[in-house]
């Protein structure tokens, strides 16, 4: 066994606080000024640019041993980090589906870090504020006040938490306590979703010990919504085979095309069959606050659990997801542990709510503040109108695409995701795919626009996900003209 040195030398007391508070004040003000300029001028920069070799090299330096002035460290950030972002805050970023942050959220993240509170819980203001944000999200979803919820890292974690509760409750109904006995003691549970489900559900099924095969992927109709008749049939087959149908995962906004499953229809099936209804609303749940489009997610409030993503359509800086569970007791029962080092008291710091009992994390960040401050500043209706704005822009892009001889709209958009491709006669599917991938990469490398690609019912296409509150119609016009121009160059 290693033993400590016999004599430890006495050291001066140290701390991480700066030696000169006025110096850090000046530097911090410079960072804020640079940050505000960065946002003000975002439109004038390329959406994305690749990093030169010297910048890549900078991130290979070893563990710092010697101290250096913070001003020098910040210079390095300004030179090597800030100019090379992912680009998702840029008005012409439409790749994948994500929010674009906001200045208030950024300031809130700073203040949250300054306070440094741990949202594992306890009796302090951040705990109350965290609960308040969850209450607001319940209100937005039309969920009852007695429901529970938790702010988590994102949609993947929100889905995982919701589906853990679903698994435990459904196995519990057959007399098996999964927390104590594990999945081996339970009858084989089956979960159901469409073939358009987000990839996180596969990881969840594996993590839950159910295995990927227990997730039944049901076919979708022309508009990419789950086929409810096929779902009923599959549930019946599984039951006849001695399996235990447990949970329907409805998509409120699929990642490919923004398709919204028939939520009232699925709620009816879940009720008839005695299944848990979980809604993956990472894209679409927040439509519930959009005046022109809330009707699209009617039925959301019938769910047993909902996963939603404030870092998408509420544009909270990463990370911020949220899970809501109708049965608050079932939620807590799935995660509560009686830790001797975290006992509650009637007074003092341990008398507050223990939020870590609602999920997997123990220490939790103060992610509620960035949502809370932006909602108070703008009011919830503004966020709803911004969602309507992006959906209207997607409609406009679809019209522009349809009007172009060399572009094809692959599916009529139902939300703010537009799937389209460059095409010309005489090119087979492989050539078309190669041309479209090249268009996507050139748009990115030029710094003009970021779109992604996907395959919808077998057709490869480009995909513009317009969640962005900075996008204007002229940005879409540029996307269309550059796509056709690059396509022409490639095809000739």
> Residues interacting with ligand PLP, by CB under 6 A?
97, 154-156, 159, 198, 200, 253, 255, 280, 282-283, 309, 321
Sign, CA torsion 222/225/228/231: positive
Give the residue with the Cβ less far from ligand PLP, 190 or 200.
200
3-state helix, strand, coil in the chain (%, to 5): 45, 15, 40
- Rounded least distance, CB 198 to ligand PLP, Å: 3
Give the residue with the Cβ less far from ligand PLP, 200 or 391.
200
- Rounded least distance, CB 382 to ligand PLP, Å: 22
- Rounded least distance, CB 56 to ligand PLP, Å: 26
Give the residue with the Cβ less far from ligand PLP, 198 or 216.
198
- Rounded least distance, CB 370 to ligand PLP, Å: 15
Strand partners, 461: 454
d(CA 226, CA 232): 11
Give the residue with the Cβ less far from ligand PLP, 127 or 159.
159
How many CB atoms sit inside 10 A of residue 174's CB?
12
Give the residue with the Cβ less far from ligand PLP, 323 or 330.
323
Give the residue with the Cβ less far from ligand PLP, 154 or 365.
154
- Rounded least distance, CB 465 to ligand PLP, Å: 9
Checking phi first, is residue 348 left (phi over 0); if not, alpha (psi -120 to 50) or beta? left
- Rounded least distance, CB 16 to ligand PLP, Å: 32
Give the residue with the Cβ less far from ligand PLP, 200 or 355.
200
How many CB atoms sit inside 10 A of residue 33's CB?
10
Strand partners, 250: 279
Give the residue with the Cβ less far from ligand PLP, 162 or 321.
321
Cα first-last separation, the chain: 73
Backbone angles phi, psi at 223, to 5 degrees: -100, 15
Query: How far is it between the farthest Cα atoms of the chain?
Result: 83
- Rounded least distance, CB 216 to ligand PLP, Å: 18
Report which residue's Cβ sits closest to ligand PLP. Answer: 155
Q: Is the peptide bond before 12 cis (omega within 30 degrees of 0)?
A: no
How many CB atoms sit inside 10 A of residue 42's CB?
17
d(CA 419, CA 398): 8
- Cα angle 361, 365, 371 (rounded to 5 degrees) comes to 120
In which residue are the tokens 């022109």 written?
Answer: 292
- Rounded least distance, CB 322 to ligand PLP, Å: 10
């Amino acid at each position: 066994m290693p033993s400590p040195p016999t004599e430890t030398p006495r050291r001066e007391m140290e701390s991480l606080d700066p030696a000169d508070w006025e110096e850090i004040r000046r530097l911090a003000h410079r960072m804020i000024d640079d940050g505000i300029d960065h946002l003000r001028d975002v439109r004038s920069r390329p959406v994305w640019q690749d990093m030169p070799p010297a910048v890549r090299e900078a991130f290979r330096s070893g563990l710092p041993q010697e101290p250096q002035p913070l001003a020098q460290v910040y210079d390095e950030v300004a030179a090597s980090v800030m100019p090379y972002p992912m680009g998702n805050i840029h008005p012409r970023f439409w790749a994948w589906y994500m929010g674009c942050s906001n200045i208030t959220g950024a300031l809130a993240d700073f203040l949250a870090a300054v306070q440094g509170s741990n949202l594992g819980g306890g009796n302090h203001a951040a705990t109350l504020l965290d609960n308040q944000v969850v209450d607001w999200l319940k209100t937005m979803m039309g969920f009852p006040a007695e429901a529970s919820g938790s702010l988590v890292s994102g949609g993947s974690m929100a889905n995982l938490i919701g589906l853990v509760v679903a698994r435990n409750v459904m196995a519990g109904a057959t007399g098996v306590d999964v927390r104590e006995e594990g999945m081996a003691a339970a009858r084989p549970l089956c979960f159901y979703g469409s073939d358009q489900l987000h990839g996180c559900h596969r990881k969840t099924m594996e993590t839950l010990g159910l295995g990927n095969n227990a997730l039944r992927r049901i076919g979708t109709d022309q508009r990419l919504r789950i086929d409810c008749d096929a779902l009923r049939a599959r549930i019946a087959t599984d039951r006849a085979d001695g399996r235990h149908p447990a949970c329907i995962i409805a998509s409120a906004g699929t990642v490919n095309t923004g398709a919204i499953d028939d939520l009232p229809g699925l709620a009816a099936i879940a009720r008839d069959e005695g299944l848990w209804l979980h809604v993956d609303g990472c894209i679409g749940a927040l439509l519930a606050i959009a005046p022109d489009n809330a009707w699209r997610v009617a039925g959301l409030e019938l769910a047993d659990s909902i996963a939603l993503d404030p870092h998408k359509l509420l544009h909270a800086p990463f990370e911020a997801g949220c899970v809501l569970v109708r049965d608050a007791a079932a939620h807590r029962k799935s995660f509560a542990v009686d830790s001797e080092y975290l006992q509650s008291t009637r007074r003092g710091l341990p008398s507050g709510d223990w939020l870590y009992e609602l999920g997997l994390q123990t220490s939790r960040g103060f992610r509620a503040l960035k949502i809370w401050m932006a909602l108070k500043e703008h009011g919830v209706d503004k966020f709803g109108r911004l969602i309507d704005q992006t959906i209207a822009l997607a409609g406009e892009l679809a019209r522009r695409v349809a009007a172009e001889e060399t572009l094809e709209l692959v599916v009529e958009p139902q939300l703010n995701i537009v799937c389209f491709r460059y095409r010309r006669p005489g090119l087979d599917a492989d050539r078309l795919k190669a041309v479209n991938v090249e268009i996507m990469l050139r748009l990115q490398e030029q710094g003009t626009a970021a779109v992604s690609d996907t395959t919808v019912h077998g057709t490869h296409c480009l995909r513009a996900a317009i969640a962005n509150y900075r996008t204007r119609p002229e940005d879409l016009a540029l996307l269309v003209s550059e796509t056709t121009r690059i396509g022409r160059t490639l095809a000739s």
